[in-house]
Structure 1
């Protein structure tokens, strides 16, 4: 019976991730975008709209933006939780943890990222009305895009990134040092792990303003890298090299208008 419950929980978890990506795909199609975030005629028209005009535009309103980002958090961040849930799963077998606690960890983690979705939706709305990003969430200047790439790349070398990544990278160590029993205990641990993860990975969410927040290929690539960062064997090996790549890309993007103009 326990095996059936375990399998059902994991199947539901992966089904939720798949469903989130399907919803994002449908939203992108409704906005006139392909998988690479390239707009068709309708998408180009939307991109050129002025959010300050007196007309109803969902991508200029907080509610639709928050919904989009909350679904994106499910699509992008739940896959990064697999090593953590797997570590808790092992404790169910060896240390008397419970499936209710497992669900609590999942709920706490996702609650943090829903909160993050509200923050970044508000940030996108502010950037949109300031003219920094367009209606599709893409930066309107090479300087902004390049600067954001450099900031996120530099963050890869900071002490706070190392500390938060260390927690995300070794969830078993965190569980053993901060163990709480039951569903409420799992929720508390999930909230803490979600907070560490949000600090660790915020930059890769913000990079949506470079490649496009509804560019599914771009955000899928960010998801893949965040998953790799949390794998026990290679996580430490990819963190700083990615920082160098992002900084170099930022310098190239910010400097390109000067080179092209010259």
Structure 2
């Protein structure tokens, strides 16, 4: 069969569309940051910080949903590659491939709803400002320490184990067709939320429109998903976050000033 047979043409279209969606999501986030008047570090233009208030819930939810696509779609490459292998080895289909992708993103959109609500709760408590930035070094230190400790937890290990080995999950919970793909993708997405929620919460340390944080978080989440190195990175990352948290708290005391 020629490489340009219909099956391979569909494969190429789907993968090109997938990567185009990632680029589009990042482009939208950049446009949103420019519209909000912030730089790549999420800092508002001079004189604007005090005037900027929180966006409405639906606007924030839309921002988080796009952010989930920009940050989490790149981490899906090993999962989608694993499912693609089953197209040639089992009764998997490209419709199921689309279903896995859709189910995964549905889980993260659900997480976007939760973290949007969390942002309003933190704002109401005075722990973050209207730009989603921690209002004190104590808050920054607490968030860094919380996520750092989570890297050593049993929950992190379990969730990462599933995300890290999508083929094992597919073979153990196989469901054919597009609806089966949605179900398996949704389950994987929930495990991924359990594994990576901390990276999202860290956005509140420097502002949720901080594109540098988004890029670094995406980079580390992609590394954690790589079969060759993922298991070896969780604890070093956790140690670095704990060190950052303790440093922030020491600075908050003013002992080093």
Q: Which TM bucket (shorter chain)?
A: over 0.9
Contact 1:84 1:171 in 2 (8 A): yes
Quick check: 1:87 aligned with 2:82? yes
Aligned to 2:19: 14
Quick check: 1:153 aligned with 2:148? yes
Quick check: 1:33 aligned with 2:38? yes
| CA drift at 1:257 | 2.2
Matches within 5 A, 1:38-57: 38-41=43-46, 43-47=48-52, 49=53
Partner deviation per Cα, 1:170-226 (whole Å, 9 max, x = no partner): 101111111100001001001100000000000000000002100001111001000
For the residues of structure 1 that align with 2:64 and 2:164, how far apart are their CA atoms? 24
Contact 1:31 1:43 in 2 (8 A): no
Q: Which runs of 4+ in 1 moved over 4 A?
A: none
Q: How many residues align?
A: 252
Matches within 5 A, 1:51-90: 59-90=54-85
For the residues of structure 1 that align with 2:11 and 2:222, how far apart are their CA atoms? 22
Contact 2:250 2:256 in 1 (8 A): no
- Over 3 Å counting, the alpha-carbon distance change for 1:131 and 1:39 in structure 2 is same
Aligned to 2:213: 218
- Segments of structure 2 that go 5 or more residues without pairing to the other structure are 1-5
Partner deviation per Cα, 1:32-56 (whole Å, 9 max, x = no partner): 1111222213642444x5xxxxxxx
| CA drift at 1:73 | 0.3
Quick check: 1:190 aligned with 2:195? no
Aligned to 1:56: none
| CA drift at 1:261 | 6.5
RMSD: 1.2
